[in-house]
């Protein structure tokens, strides 16, 4: 959705490069297992797709002659370190196994939960949030939210399916969107363009 | 491993 928006409008107005780069980092850390494990064709295709789209978005925002001029660097002020450092620390302490790949995987789970924050902060500062941006954020929130339903199903049907790190992170990630979803639903009902209160 | 089950998720 985001790539379509950027390509169609030749603009990344209202999009946080910080959030996009954090997602690229999340996918790198999580999908290292592309090199040493195979689950299914679907799984592999989606992992490669996520990596490719994340990097393509970052490339457009940083290097495309036209698109990069629409990036509002002054407003996108969230500091990487405030998200990366606590997640790295937590991953070192709270993990299933203390190995490089497992710690990086756990780090990616924690980081994904909070990676939307720069985007949410940027949107709060944006007067006119365009529909594609609002829809993109809503879809991103719904994506992990729908996982919760799947986790409940798997918990009920699969033995040994206990995933506290993933579950708590996923619920926290979805909760971060609660406020956004509230205003998104209000504006959608009133058929108005999304506006977040300052 | 306890974490193996989640590795089929994206």
DSSP for A120-189, please give it: HHHHHH-SS--HHHHHHHHHHHHHHHHHHHHHHHHHHHSTT---HHHHHHHHHHHHHTHHHHHHHHHHHH
Q: Using the beta-carbon criterion (under 8 Å), do B3 and A37 form an inter-chain contact?
A: no
The phi-psi region of residue A10 (left if phi > 0; otherwise alpha if psi is between -120 and 50; otherwise beta) is: left
- Among all residues of chain A, which has the CA nearest to that of B3? A96
Residue A190: both structure tokens together: 């009133």
The overall average pLDDT reported for chain B is 74
Closest approach of B2 to chain A, Cα-based (Å): 7
pLDDT in tens, A124-170: 999 889 999 999 999 999 999 999 999 999 999 999 899 999 999 99
Residue A170: both structure tokens together: 């996923």
Q: Using the beta-carbon criterion (under 8 Å), do B8 and A102 form an inter-chain contact?
A: no
Q: Are A113 and A169 in contact (CB under 8 A)?
A: yes
Chains A, B: CB pairs < 8 Å: 32
Q: pLDDT value at position B2? A: 53
pLDDT in tens, A82-123: 999 999 999 999 999 999 999 999 999 999 999 999 999 999
């Amino acid at each position: 959705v985001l790539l379509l928006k950027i390509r169609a409008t030749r603009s990344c107005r209202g999009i946080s490069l910080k959030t996009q780069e954090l997602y690229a980092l999340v996918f790198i850390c999580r999908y290292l297992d592309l090199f040493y494990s195979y689950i299914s064709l679907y799984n592999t295709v989606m992992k490669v797709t996520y990596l490719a789209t994340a990097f393509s978005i970052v490339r457009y925002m940083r290097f495309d002659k036209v698109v990069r001029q629409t990036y509002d660097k002054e407003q996108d002020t969230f500091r990487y370190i405030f998200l990366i450092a606590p997640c790295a620390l937590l991953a070192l302490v709270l993990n299933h196994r203390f190995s490089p790949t497992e710690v990086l995987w756990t780090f990616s789970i924690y980081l994904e939960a909070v990676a939307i924050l720069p985007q949410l902060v940027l949107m709060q500062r944006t007067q006119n949030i365009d529909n594609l941006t609002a829809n993109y954020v809503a879809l991103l929130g719904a994506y992990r939210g729908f996982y919760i339903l799947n986790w409940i199903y798997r918990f009920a049907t699969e033995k040994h399916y206990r995933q506290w790190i993933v579950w708590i992170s996923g619920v926290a990630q979805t909760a971060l969107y609660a406020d956004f979803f509230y205003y998104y639903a209000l504006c959608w009902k009133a058929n108005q363009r999304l506006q977040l209160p300052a | 491993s306890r974490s193996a089950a989640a590795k089929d998720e994206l």
